[in-house]
Amino acid sequence: MSRFHIDEIKYVSTRDIEKKELISSAEAIRRGLAPDGGLYMPVSLPHFGIAELSMLSKLGYAERAAFVLKRYLTDYDEDELLSMAKAAYSAEKFGGADKKGGANPTPLRRLSSRGTVMELWHGPTSAFKDMALQLMPRLLSAALEKTGVKGDACILVATSGDTGKAALEGYKDVDRTKIMVFYPAEGVSAVQKLQMVTQEGKNVCVAGVDGNFDDAQTGVKRIFRDPDVAKALEEKGLFFSSANSINWGRLAPQIVYYFSAYCDMASENIIKLGDEIDITVPTGNFGNIFAAYIAAESGLPIRKLVCASNTNKVLTDFINDGVYDRRREFYTTISPSMDILISSNLERLLYMLCGPAETTEYMKALSEEGVYKISPKLHKTLQRRFAGYFADEDACREAIKETYEKKHYLCDPHTAVALSCVERYRRENPGETLKMLVVSTASPYKFAGSVLEAITGDMAKDELTAASELSALTGTKPPKQLVGLESREVRFPGVISPENMADEVIKFAGR
């Protein structure tokens, strides 16, 4: 592998107009958010040519991950990255096996001659956040060593459901980290709650909060600012850190699977190495699709990125009209992980397209007025690469039903939003002939109730019943990690009041 040259890459905040502070990738991962409120970005990007893609095609997933990541995280060793990737994406965690006998965490399903689905949900929580959250804690743990930080990271998370579980699975038993998750006792599904209260691992703790998600979130924010808690933690050799989705350590692992999918498409003769492809991504916080953009800018032959939204179509409007306007009604949909009005990672795209000064202005307008309009020049640049489409609830249900009936493929509502947008994109661009890669972000069994209802029109009495009915109807099996949850040992039965959250954290720190 060493025959390829590696340039050192530094990181800078998206709001650092004079590029005053350039830091290593480990430092960027340790910090998460920049002190000026910006997000960290590489100052320059590596370039991958056909020779690299051809070499990558012959490797297993963990080896591909180490090779690709080494080009962005240049202060990590490739061997170190390889052992992290092997542990993160093991067959035990992701099931399946690739041609090399390693795990293939991101299998492709060919739906038609032109459309191929990449499934990113074979990990411990059956949704795509595992792809980042299985690796990120290991990157953080190594970053603490590299930057000479003393003490261990204590991660606090308030969750409305899925992120908490994915973070727990990711940080479980990772050196120099502890994780505590608060969930709203009234605000998560029965399955989500069972997943969290039965969590295994020596360094984890979970507590229900008597209230809704906002109560849990506000409580966590208060603890982060509480000097007494910080002092108590310091005495135990701990400091606070967050599992935030804007950390570069969560983004970098997502770049890898675009390279991997491209190589697999070539190996499966769907394309020839060097052919351009289009990609459609069901989008919320703009992290996943931004990783595809980084891959494209680093030389992966990608032409269009189709940004697929649900009824909360702030991004569709942004791409089409050049105006980002969050002052709108918020809808709760059957693709809840995309119910977002502020897509944080969009800041990274703006930074790349128009630089830190203009980006800082747009972000200021967004926080002060809730809206910004980009310059005509920037709008044109944006549209060269991105197309924005959305699917409302009916279109989403119809895509689930049609994909199942016509293609015999069962997909979850987030993936269905993407498939519906692909249909529209094709209808509006009839001359298009490029192959389309469609990103699938959750197992249909994670949203069994909505999927069953879309196909049969009937509602099941609860999620667990829906899963068994869906299985009986389609002859498919739920992922093993979603089966038998009811009979697992409950380790964290407690529900506390929001006022007691700080005490719980201090108690946990002493354990």
Ligand X SMILES: *Cc1c(COP(=O)(O)O)cnc(C)c1O
Cβ count within 10 A of residue 423 = 16
Q: Which of residues 120-159 bind ligand X (CB under 6 A)?
A: 127-129
Contact 118, 289 (CB under 8 A): no
Helix (H) or strand (E) holding 114: none
| CB of residue 263 to ligand X, shortest distance in Å | 22
Q: Which amino acid is at 20?
A: K
Q: Is 261 in the site for ligand X (CB under 6 A)?
A: no
Looking at the Cβ atoms of 298 and 415, the one nearer to ligand X is: 415
What mask of x and - would describe binding to ligand X in positions 174 to 213, judged by CB under 6 A? Answer: ----------------------------------------
| CB of residue 337 to ligand X, shortest distance in Å | 3
Task: Kindly tell me which residue out of 63, 98, 130, 162 binds ligand X, with binding defined by CB under 6 A.
Answer: 162
| CB of residue 284 to ligand X, shortest distance in Å | 3
Nearest alpha-carbon partner for 444 in 472, 406, 470: 470
| CB of residue 409 to ligand X, shortest distance in Å | 17
Nearest alpha-carbon partner for 496 in 41, 63, 185, 88: 185
Nearest alpha-carbon partner for 241 in 178, 199, 196: 178
Nearest alpha-carbon partner for 453 in 473, 439, 438: 473
- Cα 277 from Cα 400, distance rounded (Å): 24
Q: How far apart are the first and last CA of the chain?
A: 44
Distances (CA, A) of 263 to 33, 60, 273, 279, 497: 33, 10, 8, 14, 51
| CB of residue 254 to ligand X, shortest distance in Å | 8
Residue with tokens 């990738």: 25
Q: Is 106 in the site for ligand X (CB under 6 A)?
A: no
Number of residues that bind ligand X (CB under 6 A): 16
Sole window of 134-142, 152-160, 184-192, 278-286 interacting with ligand X (rule: CB under 6 A): 278-286
Looking at the Cβ atoms of 118 and 205, the one nearer to ligand X is: 118
Looking at the Cβ atoms of 360 and 441, the one nearer to ligand X is: 441
Looking at the Cβ atoms of 414 and 435, the one nearer to ligand X is: 414
Q: Which amino acid is at 255?
A: I
| CB of residue 445 to ligand X, shortest distance in Å | 12
Contact 284, 340 (CB under 8 A): yes
Q: Which of residues 362-421 bind ligand X (CB under 6 A)?
A: 414
Residue with tokens 């040519």: 49
Q: Is 441 in the site for ligand X (CB under 6 A)?
A: yes
Cβ count within 10 A of residue 102 = 21
Contact 42, 80 (CB under 8 A): no
Task: Kindly tell me which residue out of 442, 448, 451, 452 binds ligand X, with binding defined by CB under 6 A.
Answer: 442
| CB of residue 379 to ligand X, shortest distance in Å | 21
Q: Which amino acid is at 351?
A: Y
| CB of residue 288 to ligand X, shortest distance in Å | 4
Structure tokens given for 384: 């060269």
Residue with tokens 């650092």: 16
Task: Kindly tell me which residue out of 308, 338, 350, 437 binds ligand X, with binding defined by CB under 6 A.
Answer: 338
What mask of x and - would describe binding to ligand X in positions 279 to 318, judged by CB under 6 A? Answer: ---xxxxxxx------------------------------
Residues of this chain that interact with ligand X (CB under 6 A) are 127-129, 162, 282-288, 337-338, 414, 441-442
